[in-house]
Amino acid sequence: MQLGHTVVEGGTDELAVLAHRLLNSFTVVSGRAATLRDHWDLLPLDQRSRWLAEIERAALDVAGLLGVLARGLPGEVTAELATAS
């Protein structure tokens, strides 16, 4: 499968795994951010700090996954992504 100028080996299965991981990370970011926005004053400081750290980790995960996609997705990466989620 070719995406732009990047060839992704195997195509559908690898992209499905990658998409699943991206969706998980985006769910963390959007869910935690919305809760922080709506309930900031009600949440203890330590909870806010933990959730902001979760948002940061999820955003870094998205950046890493998009980097993998930009470089192409070798078959051995698929197995690693499947077990890391």
Residue at 29: amino acid letter: V
Domain holding 50, by residue range, is 9-84
In a domain, 1, yes or no: no
CA angle 69-70-71, nearest 5°?
90
pLDDT digits (tens, 9 = 90+) for 51-75: 999 999 999 999 998 887 877 756 6
Q: In what helix (H) or strand (E) does residue 25 lie, and over which residues does it extend?
A: helix 12-39
Q: What is the predicted pLDDT for the residue at 82?
A: 67
* Of 84 and 13, more confident: 13
Number of domains in the chain: 1
pLDDT digits (tens, 9 = 90+) for 1-57: 344 434 445 567 777 888 899 999 999 999 999 999 999 999 999 999 999 999 999
In a domain, 38, yes or no: yes
In a domain, 32, yes or no: yes
Q: What is the predicted pLDDT for the residue at 75?
A: 62
